[in-house]
């Protein structure tokens, strides 16, 4: 197999840029400019560009990714690491993220790396070069030195972190334009107000297997604190107990933490004393909320007649159950597009920094850049400046999706 001057294999029998140039009657340079979306650089007419595209389509041309990366110094790949693919929020985010990348001419490299899991095997993924990285509810990254990000703004790899308020607080994460904050506490407050407005008088928060954290930033804190502000007495509010699974049963419904917690609550003296008042459940996520619906159904408790259920994340799962699940949406589509746009802003700032640096004699040349300068430039491009306090960090608003479960 022949090799071209970039030391990448030329695939026999497959069309090249020169083949397209001959078919379209233009130069190889024109073909390269058109296929890389740089029409304005050489003032190529739309008529010529369309002739090139049609020739490429006729010849079934596919660009050689490695050669393109060597020529441009960029892979046009974005690394995405998410926390836990078992929660439907993350697969839905990945799908939206992929759409956002493709719309901007980039590909996606996906891995799931829970923040609480350490694995040397995952570090091998870092050998796959990416232009930048987005992390969602995790600090783990195979593309970063040490495999963990403690401050995305100081990272040698352009990085954006998407995280709920609870994680940002727990990780002591510095706020900057590299952090997109999901307002999880506000999600809990929206759920509390909605259940009160719907006439529920007793209230339960259902965790998803992890001990609840009643401190600012957490959804359970927002839920309980908002209920107190609305005048609900402490005795009317409960956190469902965490019940360990029966290991002898094996993989079954008894392995589901939200279901176990709801069932234990329904069997408690507090539940008996609550009847006939209507009880509103707020679950840590939509998965836990669906498990609550299962427990209520098995106990023959009408929903929403005697009990209401609100989930978190607004995933498609909530539309597949009966009754359909009311949920607090974190709007994965908007979050994904914002994350990609933010990262591309930093990438553009880095490229601009390299171009300006190359014109300065003795100043590192085109292959070096000043990360601090690039970050300042990125902030200017994005219309924001400097690091932020928790109060001022970029936030994405949750919204209520009202369906049949309330």
179-182, strands of its sheet edge to edge: 107-112, 77-82, 132-136, 159-164, 179-182, 395-396
The answer as to whether 30 is a domain residue is yes
Query: Measuring CA to CA, which residue among 181, 100, 194, 175 is closest to residue 136?
Result: 181
| Residue spans of alpha helices (H) in 17-147 | 17-24, 28-35, 39-42, 46-58, 65-72, 89-103
Domain assignment present for 405: no
Q: How many CA atoms lie within 13 A of 222 on its CB side?
A: 24
**Domain co-membership, 101 together with 161:** yes
- Choose one of 39, 56, 72: the last residue of a domain: 72
Specify whether 201 is located in the same domain as 312.
Answer: yes
CATH code of the domain in which 118 resides: 3.40.50.2300
Residue at 1 is within a domain:
no
Helix axes 28-35, 46-58, angle to 10 degrees: 90
Residues linked to residue 3 through DSSP beta bridges, in sequence order? 9
d(CA 242, CA 282): 15
Convert 148-180 to b/e letters by CB count within 10 Å (16 or more is b): ebebbbebebbbbbbbbbbbbbebebbbbbbbb
Looking at the fold, whether 50 and 135 belong to one and the same domain comes out as no
Query: Would you say residue 402 lies in a domain?
Result: no
Identify whether residues 37 and 120 lie together within a single domain.
no
Q: Note whether 110 and 126 are same-domain residues.
A: yes
- Specify the 3-state DSSP secondary structure of 54: helix
Residue 31 domain-assigned (yes or no): yes
Judge if 245 and 372 occupy the same domain.
no
Question: Do 100 and 53 share a structural domain?
Answer: no
Question: Please, which residues bridge with residue 108 across strands?
Answer: 78
Q: Is residue 378 part of a domain?
A: yes
Whether the CA torsion 80, 84, 89, 91 is positive or negative: it is: positive
DSSP-derived letter for residue 9 is B
Q: Is residue 374 situated within a structural domain?
A: yes
210 inside domain: yes
CATH number of the domain to which 21 belongs: 1.10.260.40
Give the contacts of 91 (CB within 8 A, at least 6 positions apart).
Answer: 85
Are 257 and 240 within one domain? Answer: yes
Question: In terms of domains, do 200 and 170 share one?
Answer: no
Q: Provide the domain count of the chain.
A: 3
Domain identity same for 203 and 294? yes
Q: Give the domain extent around 102.
A: 77-182+332-397
Same domain, 203 and 265: yes
Per-residue pLDDT of the chain (406 residues; tens, 9 = 90+): 444 443 444 445 678 888 989 999 999 888 888 877 666 666 788 888 889 889 988 888 876 555 555 455 567 899 999 998 889 999 999 999 999 999 988 999 999 888 877 766 555 555 558 899 999 999 999 888 888 899 999 998 999 999 999 888 889 988 899 999 999 999 999 999 999 999 999 999 999 888 888 999 999 999 999 999 999 999 999 999 999 876 655 544 447 899 999 999 999 999 999 878 999 999 999 999 999 999 999 999 999 999 999 999 999 999 999 999 999 999 999 999 999 999 999 998 877 765 455 444 333 333 333 434 433 333 333 334 333 434 444 567 899 999 999 9
For 209-220, write each residue's pLDDT tens digit: 888 889 999 999
Claim to verify: residue 255 and residue 165 sit in the same structural domain: no
């Amino acid at each position: 197999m022949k090799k071209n001057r970039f030391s990448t294999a030329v695939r026999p029998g497959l069309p090249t840029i020169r083949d397209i140039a001959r078919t379209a009657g233009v130069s190889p340079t024109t073909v390269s400019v058109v296929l890389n979306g740089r029409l304005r650089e050489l003032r190529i007419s739309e008529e010529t560009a369309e002739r090139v595209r049609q020739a490429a389509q006729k010849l079934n041309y596919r660009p050689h990714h490695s050669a393109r990366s060597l020529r441009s110094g960029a892979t046009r790949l974005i690394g995405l690491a998410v926390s836990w693919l078992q929660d439907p929020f993350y697969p839905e985010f990945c799908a939206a993220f992929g759409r956002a990348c493709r719309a901007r001419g980039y590909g996606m490299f996906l891995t799931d790396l829970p923040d609480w899991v350490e694995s040397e095997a995952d570090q091998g993924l870092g050998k796959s070069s990416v232009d930048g990285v987005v992390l969602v509810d995790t600090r783990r990254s195979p593309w970063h030195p040490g495999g963990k990000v403690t401050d995305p703004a100081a990272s040698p790899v352009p990085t954006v972190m998407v995280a709920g308020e609870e994680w940002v607080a727990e990780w002591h994460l510095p706020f900057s334009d590299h952090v997109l904050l999901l307002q999880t506490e506000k999600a809990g407050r929206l759920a509390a107000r909605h259940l009160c407005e719907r006439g529920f008088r007793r209230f339960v928060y259902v965790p998803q297997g992890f001990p609840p954290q009643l401190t600012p930033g957490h959804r359970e804190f927002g839920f309980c604190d908002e209920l107190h502000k609305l005048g609900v007495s402490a005795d009317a509010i409960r956190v469902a107990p965490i019940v360990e699974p029966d290991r002898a049963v094996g993989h079954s419904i008894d392995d589901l933490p939200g279901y176990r917690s709801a069932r234990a609550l329904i069997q408690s003296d507090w539940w008996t004393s609550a009847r006939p008042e209507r009880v509103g459940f707020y679950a840590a996520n939509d998965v836990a909320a669906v498990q609550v619906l299962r427990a209520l159904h098995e106990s023959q408790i009408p929903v929403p007649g005697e009990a209401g259920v609100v989930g978190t994340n607004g995933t498609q799962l909530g539309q597949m159950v009966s009754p359909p699940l009311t949920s607090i949406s974190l709007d994965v589509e908007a979050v994904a597009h914002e994350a990609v746009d933010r990262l591309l802003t930093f990438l553009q700032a880095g490229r601009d920094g390299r171009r300006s640096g190359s014109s300065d004699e003795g100043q590192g040349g085109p292959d070096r850049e000043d990360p601090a300068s690039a970050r300042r430039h990125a902030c200017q491009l994005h219309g924001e400046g400097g690091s932020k306090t928790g109060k001022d960090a970029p936030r994405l608003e949750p919204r209520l999706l009202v369906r049949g479960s309330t």
